[in-house]
């Protein structure tokens, strides 16, 4: 890093992690967590965001001069202050998602943005008797100066969904303040599933729901280093043991979204790192700001996933010789059905930028209706797109023989019998594409993507409620307009 830039190399990111002593648990506590193969796949995703920031080709898109530090920083740690900032962020997220399906850093970045906007609101409502915003800006500078990629921990365990936090059989289902001292607070509870929690230096915590007075202890926001005493991080998801073949796709073999559960066991947080502390009325504010920002991020990201499915559908049709018209079907129309959602969600992202509002803190907020609708439509059409791609791909993806046979001189001719299709496409290319499609849409890894499309950044119900909530006045206007029209007889 030079004086004008705060941009670490990806190796510096990796080295920084290795100097930490977090409690990361798989079957048991990992002694060298960052040597773990699955965790390394996640680190590779984060590393890419460091590499591209230092790549001249992507510099304009990936970096920005911080108004707080005066240095060039990674855009993921920047608080968007203009529409142009938002446009570049859309482009950045889209570019990364094309490569790795999920850039992962959005959560942490959106948590920073949330705290910037939210702390200002709290302080203002307190007539600036509190100084959360100043505390947070100091923390933000620390993050930017050191080019740290924090994770954002929003969703609680939530226990029995029909009960409030205070009614739970298991109090730690929700993260909450255990006690408060002069120096800071002690917190307990769980956050899950937390993207990047397994390979972040910093954990930023914000409330995931609204809370009433009885649950004011859950209205808490703060940040801690990942190796803080009492913090345990559990590796989640099915154990990935395969995807080690020569032709296994990069997604899954090199890159992976490996989620973690963070358990807080009476963890101490010093005052200067506490950004909300029992002001229960603001829990919803923080949760909604985050939701809005994160759904906007989805509208930037998901078109890339749909585009990858589009490309896969086109390429497999070409390889298989099914590009043309069928009796009673039309391959181009099927591709269109997948690609259509890429366009629509991208358009709603642009609309969310066009109608974005500046907040009192100075940071921009994307239009909540378009941001939520973009995420909603992306979520709604995802399985249909998968269905179409599986339909177009034919039956081979889940029915490939063992890859090593392609290198077996005695059996290679058998593989040619199976895999020879379009003239000029090698059987290796045919194999690799089929395996890529399987991993994308019919595998443990693909299953994670599917659940992510449903529940990442809140499920469809949450989005509908957000749209409804923000549209209530406009919808009532619609009703009144019809009432007037229907009473013109008077």
Sites for a copy of itself among residues 81-100 (CB under 8 A): 98
Minimum CB distance to a copy of itself smaller for 130 or for 197: 197
Q: Hey, which residues between 159 and 178 contact a copy of itself (CB under 8 A)?
A: 159-163, 168-170, 172-173
Q: Who contacts 434 (Cβ-Cβ below 8 Å, separation ≥6)?
A: 316, 393, 396, 397, 400
Q: Hey, which residues between 314 and 343 contact a copy of itself (CB under 8 A)?
A: 314-315, 318, 320-330, 332-333, 335-336, 339-340, 343
Figure out which of the listed residues 22, 118, 208, 397 binds a copy of itself, where binding follows CB under 8 A.
397
Whole-angstrom Cα distance, residue 422 to residue 424?
A: 6
Minimum CB distance to a copy of itself smaller for 18 or for 422: 422
> Residue 382 interacts with a copy of itself (CB under 8 A)?
yes
Q: What is the CA radius of gyration of the chain?
A: 24
Minimum CB distance to a copy of itself smaller for 182 or for 410: 410
Q: Hey, which residues between 357 and 376 contact a copy of itself (CB under 8 A)?
A: 369-370, 373-374, 376
Q: Who contacts 455 (Cβ-Cβ below 8 Å, separation ≥6)?
A: none
| Size (the chain), residues | 490
Figure out which of the listed residues 84, 124, 266, 402 binds a copy of itself, where binding follows CB under 8 A.
402
> Least separation, in Å, of the C-beta of 152 and a copy of itself?
15
Figure out which of the listed residues 52, 148, 261, 356 binds a copy of itself, where binding follows CB under 8 A.
261
Minimum CB distance to a copy of itself smaller for 3 or for 410: 410
> Least separation, in Å, of the C-beta of 179 and a copy of itself?
19
Peptide bond into 62 cis (omega under 30): no
Distances (CA, A) of 39 to 29, 36, 168, 254, 332: 14, 5, 32, 10, 39
Whole-angstrom Cα distance, residue 192 to residue 153?
A: 8
Q: Hey, which residues between 451 and 490 contact a copy of itself (CB under 8 A)?
A: 451, 454-456, 459-461, 464-465, 467-468, 471, 474-483, 485-489
> Residue 57 interacts with a copy of itself (CB under 8 A)?
no
Whole-angstrom Cα distance, residue 138 to residue 421?
A: 60
> Residue 398 interacts with a copy of itself (CB under 8 A)?
yes
Whole-angstrom Cα distance, residue 35 to residue 50?
A: 19
**Closest among 376, 464, 458, 466 to 158, alpha carbons compared:** 458
């Amino acid at each position: 890093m030079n004086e004008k830039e705060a941009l670490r190399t990806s190796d510096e990111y990796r080295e920084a992690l290795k100097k930490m002593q977090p409690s990361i648990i798989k079957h048991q506590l990992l002694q060298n967590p960052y040597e773990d193969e699955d965790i390394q796949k996640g680190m590779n995703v984060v590393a890419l965001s460091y590499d591209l920031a230092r790549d001249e080709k992507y510099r304009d898109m990936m970096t920005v001069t911080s108004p707080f530090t005066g240095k060039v920083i990674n855009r993921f740690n920047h608080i968007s202050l203009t529409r142009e900032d938002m446009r570049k962020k859309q482009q950045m997220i889209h570019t990364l998602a094309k490569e790795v399906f999920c850039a992962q850093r959005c959560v942490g970045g959106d948590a920073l943005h949330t705290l910037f906007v939210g702390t200002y609101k709290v302080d203002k409502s307190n007539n600036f008797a509190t100084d959360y915003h100043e505390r947070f800006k100091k923390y933000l500078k620390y993050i930017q100066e050191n080019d740290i990629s924090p994770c954002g921990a929003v969703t609680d365990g939530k226990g029995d969904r029909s009960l409030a936090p205070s009614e739970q059989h298991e109090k730690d289902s929700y993260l909450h303040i255990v006690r408060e001292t002069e120096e800071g607070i002690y917190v307990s509870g769980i956050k899950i599933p937390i993207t990047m929690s397994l390979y972040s230096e910093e954990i930023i915590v914000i409330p995931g729901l609204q809370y009433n007075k009885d649950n004011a202890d859950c209205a808490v926001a703060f940040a801690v280093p990942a190796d803080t005493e009492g913090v345990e991080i559990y590796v989640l998801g099915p154990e990935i043991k395969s995807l080690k073949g020569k032709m296994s796709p990069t997604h899954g073999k090199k890159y992976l979204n490996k989620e973690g559960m963070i358990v807080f066991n009476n963890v101490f947080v010093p005052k200067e790192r506490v950004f909300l502390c029992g002001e229960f009325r603001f829990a919803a504010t923080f949760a909604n700001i985050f939701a809005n920002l994160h759904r906007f991020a989805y509208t930037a990201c998901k078109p890339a996933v749909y585009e990858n499915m589009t490309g896969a559908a086109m390429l497999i049709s070409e390889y298989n010789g099914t590009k043309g018209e069928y009796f009673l079907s039309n391959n181009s129309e099927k591709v269109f059905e997948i690609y259509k959602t890429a366009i629509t969600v991208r358009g709603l992202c642009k609309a969310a930028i066009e109608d974005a509002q500046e907040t009192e803190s100075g940071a921009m907020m994307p239009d909540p209706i378009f941001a939520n609708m973009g995420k909603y439509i992306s979520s709604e059409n995802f399985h249909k797109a998968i269905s179409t791609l599986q339909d177009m791909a034919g039956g081979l993806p889940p029915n490939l023989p063992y890859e090593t046979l392609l290198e077996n001189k005695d059996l290679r001719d058998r593989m040619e019998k199976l895999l020879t299709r379009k003239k000029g496409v090698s059987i290796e290319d045919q194999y690799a594409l089929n395996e890529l499609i399987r991993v994308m849409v019919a595998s443990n890894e693909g299953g994670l993507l599917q659940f992510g499309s449903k529940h990442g950044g809140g499920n469809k119900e949450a989005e509908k409620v957000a749209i409804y909530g923000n549209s209530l006045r406009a919808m009532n206007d619609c009703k009144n307009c019809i009432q007037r029209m229907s009473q013109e007889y008077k």
